[in-house]
Structure 1
Amino acid sequence: MKMRKIHAGLFAGTAMLAAMPMAAPAQSAAAPASSDSDVQTITVTAQRRVENDLKVPVAVSVIRPDAFKDYVAAGSDTLLSLSGKVPSLYVETSTGRIFPRFYIRGLGNIDFYLGASQPVSVIQDDIVEEHVVLKSNPMFDVGQIEVLKGPQGSLFGRNTTAGIVKFDSAQPTETWQGQGSASYGKYNSVNVDAGVGGPLTKDGSISFRLSGLYQHRDNWITNSYTGNSDDGTVGGKDVMGGFNERDVRLQLLAKPSENFSVRLSGHYRDYDGNASIFYRGSIRQGTNAVPSSFDRSVVAYDEAHNNPQAYKTHGASLKAVYDFGGATLTSITGWEHLSGYSRGDTDGGAAVNFPLSTNGGAPVPFGYGESQGRVHGLDQVTEEVRLASPDTGRFKWQVGGIYFSQKDRTEFDQRAYFLTNNSFGTNPNPNNFVLLHDNNTSWALFGQASYDLTDQLTATGGVRVTEDTKRTELLLHPNSVALTIPGTAPASSFACGTAFSCRLSDTKPSWDASLLYRATGDLSFYGRVARGFRGPTIQGRSAVFGSAYTTANSETNTSGEIGLKSVFLDNKVHFNLTGFYYVVKNMQLNGNDSNGNGVLFNADKGKGYGMEAELEARPVKNFRFNVGFSWLHTKIEDPNAFAQVGAAGGVLAETVFPTPFPGTGSNSGLRFASINGNPFPNAPEYNLNLSGRYDFPIDEKSRLFIGADFNMQGKTNYVLYRTIEYTANGNFELGGKIGYAFGRYEAAFFVRNLTNEKNLVNVIDTNNYRAGIYNDPRTFGIQISGSFR
């Protein structure tokens, strides 16, 4: 079944691209090319300068705005939609749209804790989005998306051991410009993305850009459960799966003189929807094949009130740039705020439907579970000051410093908190929750310089020193109920340094060095070594079960890569090729404790190596295509590292290699397996992405077009230990559109997940749940878009 799926996917993707060039000879020789008939020069900002990619000794993939609009036409999550669209980038979630987790070259973090750190940094319009919810702020009115691969040691700093996903919005301009797209499709899905801007003064010294995003989808998943519920959950038809996303951004740009500019930006987000939908029992023991009878539109949840989720975020930034002539001073100040909650049925089904046999007794319902994470308020403040030489000359340099501060109050609620019938006689139950105060501060000093050793050879090197401090404190309940959980350990057992409080701090250097050789004006070779640093992490959520905090020490990633970048056929073809190898020391990992709660630990090291290739081409008039491929091998190396596996009453819920061993004492009902030699979780062995478009000219201004995109991922483990069940191999999706264009305006019919694949994309492995998360079903509709300038 796996091979049939892989062959079908490869055939579909190959046929998609093969069919379009066949139409090329049919075009009229006199017909004009489409407005974007030639591959444009690729410019990137990976070194904090706008540069031709051929001159940058860093592996960078670029996602263009027109491709991005295709991916999100059905109202899809603007960040999760990027998964697999360039080599070595993977994005997933087990907490819905408010918690995307990014992986680059296999390195990421499966931790679902609201305070989790990730080794992939997300930067939006020059502001680092550190908290996992801030990372979910959607992108719209996009200027460019860049994926920087490998540790970014000197210019971007901590928590970039895997790389960076960098988003740049369309900026204010001195002339009137605008763009917009609107789509409508299945499930009453709506996606509207628009931006407009221009001068506010006659001389263009003050300009603006107003951007907005609106996404909506009706509920389409039925909760078929009709029995008793301990927390008052009521099922019904079409009660889950929908969402409302409302976002706006305003930018003002002032240029008082040729040498001085100030950009003030503000944004606001209002989102509501559902947490991830787990389907309990959808994964069958002994196989990873998705049953043909599986139905994504029906669940049976006995708790969690149909998984509600809602967050609001807003923020502002001020970027000031002054050019002294011999150097340019840049100051970037940012503030972000968020609040909201997410609640879910974490066992993924109704306990009465999954009885567990007990010793000689009748089977009893098993698996009641729900949880909620709530951020009462988070504030992030950042400041960066950078002084840089001009972009010209043989010697270029940058020096600067950053300050980062994040404070929040985060609440975690477990099942007993929501029970309506309890010994306290209250609703909600004042039990089984915690309120934490998290404080993270960081500062860094950095510098980087490059020198043209010859007209063809450039050396670049940089270093950064970062201090990162985290502190988590146990607070009282908002209603001033003292936090001493009846029947469990006393509050003093939460000590990590002092009672109720845990503090970790570390100071480390990070760096990078590279050589770039310009063989010709269109061909470059480079080699790069770099080290990245991820700060220590505290997992405070464990306190909800009366358990002590768990922590992980800092990790470092030392990476080496070599590559080539090329342009040929009169700028019609770009081809990049990279090989890499890296070693992560003190690798931060996340497993489960006896309550199914995530716990942190460090593995001795992890290793990864692989290759990436990208081709962007327009070989004939009116036809363009992209091909991306990455291959990856990863391995955890620590003979003393173990992970808890899914088991209930000592009975395994999956097939585990090597055979797990039983715990002892209070863990006697649990099973553990060695993870030494295992691949990283959510690290596909390969990724293939294809996209293409062909335009059929009608006259000087109008044309018909057909476009498609295809993505396939290789074998992927979703957990730390080896199983048959919690893996996927050959997952693929195919999307496409066909339409009519007139000048800069288009109308098209689109489809996403054309073949309606049922892909397992995540799991919850606690107890015997065997619950999976799956991709969206096939969606289709109409889309109109256009731009002016």
Structure 2
Amino acid sequence: MFLNSVGRSAKLLAGVAFVALGSAAAVAQTPTTTTAAADEGDLGTITVTAERRSENLMNVPISVGVASGDAVRDFQAGGDDTLLTLSGRVPSLYVESTTGRIFPRFYIRGLGNVDFYLGASQPVEIIQDEVVLEHVILKSNPVYDIAQVEVLRGPQGTLFGRNTTAGIIKFDTNKPTMNWEGRGSVSYGTKNSVNVDAGVGGPIVADKIAFRLSGLFQHRDDWVDNVYVGPKTDDTVSPKKNALGGFDEKDVRLQFLLTPNDRLSVLLSGQARDYKGTSTIFYRNSITKGTNDVPANFDRGQVALDEGGNNPQHYKTYGGSMKASLDLDFATLTSITAYETANGYSRGDTDGGAATVNLAKDGALFYGQSQGRLRNLDQWTQEVRLASNGSGPLSWQVGGIYFDSRDNTEFDQRGFFLNTGVAARNPNNWVLLHDINTSWGIFGQLKYQVTDKLTLTGGVRETRDSKSTRLVQSSRNALGVDSYPATARRYVKMSDTKPSWDVSALYQVTPEVSLYARVAHGFRGPTIQGRSAVFNSDFTTANSETNTSFEAGLKSSLLDNKLRFNITGFAYRVKNIQLNGNDSNGNGVLFNADKADAYGMEADMELRPIRNLTLTGGLSLLHTEIKDKNVYAQVCALTVAGVSRVVCTVQDPLIQRPLFGVQTNFAQIDGNPLPNAPKYNLNFTARYDLPIGPGKAFVATDWNVQGYTNFVLYKTKEFYSKGNFEGGAKAGYSWNGYEAAVFVRNITNEKNLKGVIENYMAGVYSEPRIIGVQLSASFR
């Protein structure tokens, strides 16, 4: 927040032994171009579109991490969130959520946003099939029938616009072709977990019209018991076995490719999502003061919730796009028009447990539940770009984009849900906000091959970003009297116009080794936090932040293309960085700090040491530091009898200031790391294929280890993770386009701490172990 403006090692060894015995499983995380190349022991070539053109990864002067569609499908075999499973699978990428599957938060090189507000902005942009997904709900759209995931690290403001100060994640799905082809995978696991991911398509009119139909279905039964026994003040049903934890994810996408002649192609796409499940489960007082060790008796399968209706969550999204490309000989003109809409709600017991059960520990009765409801969202985008054709030394592209997003968002607090007759009932305890975000940008990029070995690239973009939030309905008391302070704002508008740019050089030392260096500058537009109005507090805001990044690296393909190794070192400074803390109601509060500095490295490799063995590995090292001696964050505390009591062990200098009439503790955060910025992340996969009969048997494994990660702005002995690890395994047989396998996710059933609700010492934990079987098939 603000004050200037106010035995794990034993399990790890067991896991390593498990790998050594070869009982394990996931395909390599980098894709190859052809199966034939893999059969010959060659790693093939990775093609990316990081600069809006299809290029060999070796020739792109950007740090790009790549995950193949097959790898992503292995990670999600147990039915886990398709986005959260990417965390740590690509160096420098971290993903988490404390608001369920509808609100993942992304971090690249430690830069992200912990704000759980439905109108929050993030410095990581999501691009799916060349369409920007800005709103946090749209960012949660799952990936399925995916071809490739690209993580572009560092500012990407020239070609992809504002709000990319950390980078972007590009999801490219399988497209229609003029040949019949399809693929699908079906898995079933413990807790009645089902995952179906499939796509099929082909020609409708030969060489003129083709289609592809893709779908995703995921299900898991409710598996967490609500064991609370006692009086209830709302519609929560308890005690109840298997009360929450399950979900149903239903997604469909239909694409049509039209090629009326050799010069024109039109791709039409429409998709729909219907998700119904459980919002994040917080386990109250599952964190013990003085340590972050998981209590020995902690059980993810039990929670005692007295409110919140057992945390229901339901969202629907729909969208469509049209991409038209016209070959003009000297250049290709591309237009991308897209529309996205969404609605739904997420409700939860935000204190993570029953007040009466925790009375002795908390010292008073504390209740908390809330609901965020997106009544409607409409996002329109229009992009036009002209990119040169030909193979000469000079290539270029110019373009422009317009973005328009409007939504009506409702926030409901505890009084709204209480039963008639309960003293605290207040059916008017909710607010309605109307948000508008518009933006336009024009951009250009030049790439020039100076010599056979040296290529220079430069780009610039000018962007105008405007946001406004209007309080349509304020929170009133039970009698219907407006209680919103006359001094608080009901309408806020913020705008900014800033340039983004990048300059890079790539030098091809040999055909197998390239060196590159890049300097990039980008910005994240101003942000408004309107949810505060539900507590009769004024809006909070943050001005634009800018990021200037320096990086240099090596890309290589060695040993007759049996070893691919890439490494990058980087440093960046974010000025006027946007941060988010909490007030005494647990409400997010926006503010700017002077700056944050970071440096580190990321490396990835893929190795085929012998014909049938493929190994991959990735490593990121990171140091981040907030620099502002005059910015403070409110710490974990409960107010009992008018006195604020700190409930965790704060390791930063504390000061006290009055807040809402109570002397409140604030921690100085100067010098602290950014939240959710792992000091290191290590991932490893291995796959061994053994030819047998008409096909081949295989075993494979994937592991991820995460270094020290602070969850909040201030340092404590409790709110961090260190040494979290998780593994997956798969073994089976593949033949003639078919595959049958058994798998396990979270082999050692780790209870990794993933997030916290500070005041209630509540933790969020990783998914449980899932064991199952998987059948896959493909044809072309």
- TM-score normalised to structure 1 length: 0.93
Specify which of 580, 603, 609 is matched with residue 619 of structure 1: 609
Instruction: State whether structure 2 residue 725 is matched by structure 1 residue 732.
Output: yes
Counterpart for residue 396 of structure 2: 397
Instruction: State whether structure 2 residue 669 is matched by structure 1 residue 672.
Output: no
Counterpart for residue 534 of structure 1: 524
Q: Deviations over 1:466-503 (max 9, x none)?
A: 000000001138xxx989997885453332xxxx2110
Counterpart for residue 575 of structure 2: 585
Q: Deviations over 1:170-194 (max 9, x none)?
A: 0001100100000000000000000
Counterpart for residue 159 of structure 1: 163
Conserved in 2, the CA contact under 8 Å of 1:688 and 1:713? yes
Distance 1:630 1:640 in 2: 31
Counterpart for residue 511 of structure 1: 501
CA shift for structure 1 position 695: 0.7
Conserved in 1, the CA contact under 8 Å of 2:38 and 2:44? no
Amino acid paired to 2:776: S
Distance 2:493 2:735 in 1: 60
Q: How do 1:554-565 residues align onto structure 2 when only pairs under 5 Å count?
A: 554-565=544-555
Conserved in 1, the CA contact under 8 Å of 2:476 and 2:483? no
Counterpart for residue 547 of structure 1: 537
Amino acid paired to 1:579: G
Distance 1:560 1:231 in 2: 54
Q: How do 1:367-766 residues align onto structure 2 when only pairs under 5 Å count?
A: 367-390=366-389, 392-421=391-420, 429-476=426-473, 490=484, 492-495=486-489, 500-649=490-639, 650-664=644-658, 666-699=660-693, 701-766=694-759
Q: Deviations over 1:98-135 (max 9, x none)?
A: 00000000000000000000000001111100000100
Change beyond 3 A, Cα 1:385–1:483: farther
Partner SS for 2:191: helix
Q: Deviations over 1:490-520 (max 9, x none)?
A: 453332xxxx211000000010000000111
Partner SS for 1:547: coil
Counterpart for residue 32 of structure 2: none
Change beyond 3 A, Cα 1:486–1:13: farther
Conserved in 1, the CA contact under 8 Å of 2:477 and 2:483? no
Distance 1:19 1:212 in 2: 33
Conserved in 1, the CA contact under 8 Å of 2:94 and 2:108? yes
Q: Which moved more, 1:131-140 or 1:36-45?
A: 36-45
Distance 2:39 2:391 in 1: 32
Distance 1:693 1:391 in 2: 40
Instruction: State whether structure 2 residue 134 is matched by structure 1 residue 143.
Output: no
Distance 1:484 1:778 in 2: 46
CA shift for structure 1 position 257: 1.1
Distance 1:675 1:754 in 2: 37
CA shift for structure 1 position 366: 2.2
Partner SS for 2:686: strand
Distance 1:254 1:347 in 2: 53
Change beyond 3 A, Cα 1:10–1:403: farther
Change beyond 3 A, Cα 1:33–1:547: closer
Q: How do 1:211-222 residues align onto structure 2 when only pairs under 5 Å count?
A: 211-222=214-225
Partner SS for 2:673: coil
Counterpart for residue 766 of structure 2: 775
CA shift for structure 1 position 159: 0.4
Number of aligned residue pairs: 758
CA shift for structure 1 position 421: 3.3
Distance 1:364 1:11 in 2: 42
Change beyond 3 A, Cα 1:466–1:707: same
Amino acid paired to 1:182: V
Distance 2:272 2:203 in 1: 23
Change beyond 3 A, Cα 1:169–1:485: farther
CA shift for structure 1 position 670: 2.2
Change beyond 3 A, Cα 1:449–1:667: farther
Q: Which runs of 5+ in 1 are unaligned?
A: 22-31, 358-362
Conserved in 2, the CA contact under 8 Å of 1:476 and 1:483? no
Amino acid paired to 1:770: M
Instruction: State whether structure 2 residue 46 is matched by structure 1 residue 42.
Output: yes
Instruction: State whether structure 2 residue 180 is matched by structure 1 residue 176.
Output: yes
Instruction: State whether structure 2 residue 779 is matched by structure 1 residue 785.
Output: no
Q: Deviations over 1:640-674 (max 9, x none)?
A: 11101111132211110124222226353421101
Amino acid paired to 1:784: L
Conserved in 2, the CA contact under 8 Å of 1:765 and 1:771? yes
Amino acid paired to 2:467: K
Distance 2:334 2:37 in 1: 41
Instruction: State whether structure 2 residue 244 is matched by structure 1 residue 245.
Output: no
Conserved in 1, the CA contact under 8 Å of 2:40 and 2:611? no
Counterpart for residue 132 of structure 2: 128
Specify which of 67, 89, 95 is matched with residue 99 of structure 2: 95
Change beyond 3 A, Cα 1:117–1:671: same
Conserved in 2, the CA contact under 8 Å of 1:648 and 1:669? no
Q: Which moved more, 1:613-622 or 1:87-96?
A: 613-622
Q: Deviations over 1:334-355 (max 9, x none)?
A: 0000000000000000000112
- TM-score normalised to structure 2 length: 0.95
Change beyond 3 A, Cα 1:17–1:33: farther
Counterpart for residue 201 of structure 2: 197
Q: How do 1:283-362 residues align onto structure 2 when only pairs under 5 Å count?
A: 283-355=287-359
Distance 2:659 2:320 in 1: 52
Amino acid paired to 1:762: G
Conserved in 1, the CA contact under 8 Å of 2:435 and 2:470? yes
Conserved in 2, the CA contact under 8 Å of 1:432 and 1:485? no
CA shift for structure 1 position 34: 6.8
Amino acid paired to 1:460: T
Counterpart for residue 231 of structure 1: 234
Specify which of 103, 108, 129 is matched with residue 112 of structure 2: 108
Amino acid paired to 2:611: K
Partner SS for 2:85: helix
CA shift for structure 1 position 431: 2.2
Distance 1:314 1:460 in 2: 37
Counterpart for residue 190 of structure 2: 186
Partner SS for 1:757: coil
Change beyond 3 A, Cα 1:372–1:345: same
Change beyond 3 A, Cα 1:356–1:546: farther
- Give me the CA root mean square deviation: 2.0
Amino acid paired to 2:69: P
CA shift for structure 1 position 595: 1.5
Change beyond 3 A, Cα 1:219–1:184: same
Amino acid paired to 2:763: G
Distance 2:692 2:766 in 1: 38
Change beyond 3 A, Cα 1:270–1:731: same
Amino acid paired to 1:774: Y
Conserved in 2, the CA contact under 8 Å of 1:681 and 1:719? yes
Counterpart for residue 33 of structure 2: none
Conserved in 2, the CA contact under 8 Å of 1:252 and 1:265? yes
Counterpart for residue 28 of structure 2: none
Distance 1:173 1:665 in 2: 62
Amino acid paired to 1:712: V
Distance 1:585 1:673 in 2: 21
CA shift for structure 1 position 39: 1.3
